[in-house]
Structure 1
Amino acid sequence: MSLASYAVIGLLLITATIMGTTLLLVGRFVRPSRPTPAKLQPYESGVPDVNPPRARFTPRFYLVALLFVIFDVEAIFLYPWAVAFDALALYGYVQAALFVGLLLVGLLYEWKKGALEWV
């Protein structure tokens, strides 16, 4: 592959950077800015915020969310294997079985460590 093939990608990155910067600067100078105390109040779903915000989420919540994302992304890696299943034959089946086995070991490890418990 020649260097000219990458010129399109470079041109795209340069154009996107210039366009994004230009639009942000134009927006800053064109839009009116008249902040009032009412405009600076938090607002959600049409209901003014009366009570203080809820307590912070515990780190366990983030751990479960991260585990969900990890296992969800890992499941996406099985899609190309399923598409090329006929071409891969036994070798592809063994590789996918090992992959799913490793995922199962990771899930069991997290389960044993209590990462999936809410209490």
Structure 2
Amino acid sequence: MYEVMRVILNLEQQASFNRIMRGWVMANDRIQRGMQHNGDLIVLVDGNTICFNLANFSKAYREKFILNNFELYCTQLFLAVKPQIQVFLKNEGFRSYDFQCVFLLQDMTWSKMEKVGSYGTNLFLP
């Protein structure tokens, strides 16, 4: 029987992850045009929880793209940033990593566990 070791990213790795996500947001014109606040859209906290703060988007953007299907938008946003997460994991020497993804927008919250592989594999977990 195998023993599963639970690894949590350290503070330096979290800071690196957050820099990569900030860079991705800044390089994405569509996302930038929709931003109302310059706050962090995607932040890794507690070593394995990725918070997506959708309140940083303008009201017009939220009404047009997010509010009509909140869960679909959340899934699509995660899939858009997933390649950046895979590169981060590969650079840090991880084959895969479990993330708790939390999407926040005013009184709406959606949370999902994601196992991201650094070599192109991704398993969606309920």
- How does the TM-score come out when normalised to structure 2? 0.26
User: When you count helix as a share of all residues, which structure comes out higher?
Assistant: 1
- Of Structure 1 and Structure 2, which has the larger fraction of its residues in strand? 2
TM-score, normalized by length of structure 1? 0.28
Question: Which one has a bigger Cα radius of gyration?
Answer: 1
